Amino acid sequence: MSEKMNYTLEDVIEEDMIEALQNGDFKVYFQPKINMLTSHIYGAEALSRWVHKNRGIIPPDSYIPMFEQNGFITMLDRYVFQKVCEYKQKWKGKSYEHLMISVNMSRANLYVKGLIDSLVRMCQEYDVPTDEIEIEITENMFVKDSGELISFVSKLKKSGFHVSIDDFGSGYSSLNMLKDVDADVVKIDKNFLDIGEDDLKGRRIIRSIIGMCKELKFDVIAEGVETNNQIKFILECGCENAQGFYYSKPIPIEQFEEFADKYSAILNEAVRFHFMNDLQSEDGKYQCAYRGEGFTFEEGPVKGTHAIHFPGGKMETNMVKIPENVLFSESYTVMFWAKPDELKSWTSIIYVKYEVGFFSFSPLTTDGICTYRIRDSKDVHGWYDCEGKQLRENEWFHVAFSYSAKEEASTLYINGKKADKQNNVPVIRYPKRILLGGDVFKESYKGSVSELYIYYNVKNEEEIYNIYNSYLD
Ligand code: C2E
Ligand code: CA
Ligand code: CA
């Protein structure tokens, strides 16, 4: 009997775990994943909490290692997975219905026969698409079971699940693993963020790791983001996604649903300029500035739209400067209507100077074509042109172009139809100057521009066609 009095937490845990699972004493908490550029939620990680009948909330670090040893973890992981399916089913019709939810899978699961099939069946049972669930596998596991894991991951992928490599950089797996593993996301371990402001090498390491992961076309998320300075730095490194106390701790379901509802709507998917006698964006957040004179406002291409008219002029005159931060994302879609009064070869309607390079759109370049050009100045051969039929004088055209950093592709659309696509177009970073109505090489643009929209994501052909078409209704 006296033995019982001296039970350690571990003994208690082992004794109570099965009963606790049956009683529903394990709760699933959610920690939001946030796009730092827009502050919207795009997913969450499900984390277990044991609400013990006598001891209150026991944190995972106190029971996970033991469950991993005694094998109980496979039951817990399965339970968490099922709970996630259950919640997701209840979310049908809510703004956060489709959020990607990630679930941790410990190593013991590797040896559970028919595991993946049974996860798929569970998804079917709750009517949850497998591609809205992400399986997190910690990098440490790749040290020992690299071969098995790589095939485990590809099976998960074949079943539609997303897969992330968790705690990346905390273990000793070989970097070559990244080459072989078919994962979608790399989660940068939170210990990396634990560095001083003047730890230059530490900062370079993070920057390089993020760069490498992006080079390999993984989505990257930084874990353990707690401060404003960390956000600034991680963004500078090219990583947009974060999970951390700065945004939210792991929270119980009711609280999470509130959070998700509040932040799931992408309120400002685009910065929109309507040129209704002013140079302000629709949301009032961005104000452009005149550089020159002779501008007027007029009617746009269709009833109810407005346009700004540029008088033309010598190089670097009579343009409008747009704040650089409208282009805060490496991937973007830019669209506008344009009606040139006269066409001069290589005059730009819009021009963006980057730290090393630029992009521009010219309504007429060589005979009979218009060009959306990306210039990467790091490379002497770095010219990437999407071409379409030239615009005509005194006629309105809808112009749209997009750049996808993930695909490394640029695409041009004229009047809602795809004109050209270029592949293997490298990312150029850090916009320094955005000019409307001209550039720094050629005479300025004479003509009108209406309905300038700058999206921070890539619109596909159908979406662009629909947007174009919505003007014609
Ligand atoms: P993890 O998978 O790396 O989960 C993230 C952990 O980091 C969570 O700890 C979370 O609370 C913590 N965290 C998030 N943001 C911050 C931050 O800004 N600062 C700091 N200091 N910490 C932050 P938690 O919930 O205590 O879980 C610890 C670990 O336990 C998890 O690490 C995961 O490996 C494991 N775990 C938790 N639940 C489960 C589960 O249901 N199944 C399995 N297999 N493992 C689980
Ligand atoms: Ca995790
Ligand atoms: Ca982690």
Spatial separation of the C-alpha atoms in residues 335 and 370, rounded to whole Å: 15
The amino acid that residue 193 corresponds to is L
Strand pairing class (162-168; 185-188)? parallel
pLDDT at 330: 86
Measured in Å, residue 106 CA sits from the centre of ligand 2 at: 10
The amino acid that residue 346 corresponds to is W
The helices-and-strands tally (H runs, E runs) of the chain is 12, 24
Spatial separation of the C-alpha atoms in residues 345 and 324, rounded to whole Å: 26
User: Nearest C-alpha to atom 25 of ligand 1 is from which residue?
Assistant: 47
Q: Of the ligands numbered here, which is closest to the C-alpha atom of 28?
A: 1
Measured in Å, residue 188 CA sits from the centre of ligand 1 at: 13
**What would the 3-class secondary structure string for 332-353 be?**
EEEEEEEEECCCCCCCCCEEEE
Spatial separation of the C-alpha atoms in residues 227 and 232, rounded to whole Å: 9
**What is the radius of gyration, based on Cα positions, of the chain?**
27
Measured in Å, residue 209 CA sits from the centre of ligand 3 at: 16
Spatial separation of the C-alpha atoms in residues 206 and 189, rounded to whole Å: 10
Measured in Å, residue 166 CA sits from the centre of ligand 2 at: 6
User: Nearest C-alpha to atom 4 of ligand 1 is from which residue?
Assistant: 47
Ligand 1 contacts (CB < 6 A) are 31, 47-48, 59-61, 64, 73, 76-77, 80, 104, 106, 166-167, 190, 224-226, 243-245, 250
Q: Of the ligands numbered here, which is closest to the C-alpha atom of 243?
A: 1
Measured in Å, residue 31 CA sits from the centre of ligand 1 at: 9
208: left (phi over 0), alpha (psi -120 to 50) or beta: alpha
Residue to substitute in 102, 104, 221 for testing ligand 1 pocket (most ligand atoms within 8 angstroms of CB)? 104
User: Nearest C-alpha to atom 41 of ligand 1 is from which residue?
Assistant: 48
The sign one gets for the Cα dihedral 55, 59, 65, 67 is positive
Q: List the 319-322 sheet strands across, edge first.
A: 289-291, 319-322, 431-436, 350-354, 357-362, 369-376, 383-389
Spatial separation of the C-alpha atoms in residues 88 and 98, rounded to whole Å: 8
Please report the atom of ligand 1 found closest to the CA of residue 79.
Answer: 41
Within 10 angstroms of residue 202's Cβ, the number of other Cβ atoms is: 14
Copy the structure tokens of residue 419: 């004109």
Please report the atom of ligand 1 found closest to the CA of residue 245.
Answer: 18
User: Nearest C-alpha to atom 20 of ligand 1 is from which residue?
Assistant: 224
Planar angle of CA 191, 193, 198, nearest 5 degrees: 125
Residue to substitute in 47, 137, 195 for testing ligand 1 pocket (most ligand atoms within 8 angstroms of CB)? 47
pLDDT at 4: 47
Please report the atom of ligand 1 found closest to the CA of residue 29.
Answer: 25
pLDDT at 5: 53
Spatial separation of the C-alpha atoms in residues 282 and 270, rounded to whole Å: 10
State the helix-helix crossing angle for 73-90 and 115-126, rounded to 10 degrees.
20
The sign one gets for the Cα dihedral 358, 278, 447, 395 is positive
Measured in Å, residue 15 CA sits from the centre of ligand 3 at: 28
Q: Of the ligands numbered here, which is closest to the C-alpha atom of 46?
A: 1
Q: How many Cα atoms sit within 13 Å of 129 on the Cβ side?
A: 9
Spatial separation of the C-alpha atoms in residues 79 and 21, rounded to whole Å: 8
Residue to substitute in 25, 26, 64 for testing ligand 1 pocket (most ligand atoms within 8 angstroms of CB)? 64
The sign one gets for the Cα dihedral 364, 370, 376, 380 is negative
- CA–CA distances in Å: residue 382 to residues 345, 355, 359, 440, 455: 21, 14, 12, 19, 24
Spatial separation of the C-alpha atoms in residues 454 and 277, rounded to whole Å: 19
Copy the structure tokens of residue 326: 């409208």
For the chain (473 residues), the mean pLDDT of every run of 10, in chain order, is 58 83 95 90 96 91 93 96 98 93 95 95 98 96 87 97 96 88 96 88 94 94 94 91 96 96 73 96 93 96 97 97 89 97 97 96 96 97 98 98 94 98 93 96 98 94 96 89
Whether the CB-CB separation of 337 and 464 falls below 8 Å is answered with: no
User: Nearest C-alpha to atom 27 of ligand 1 is from which residue?
Assistant: 60
Whether the CB-CB separation of 58 and 12 falls below 8 Å is answered with: no
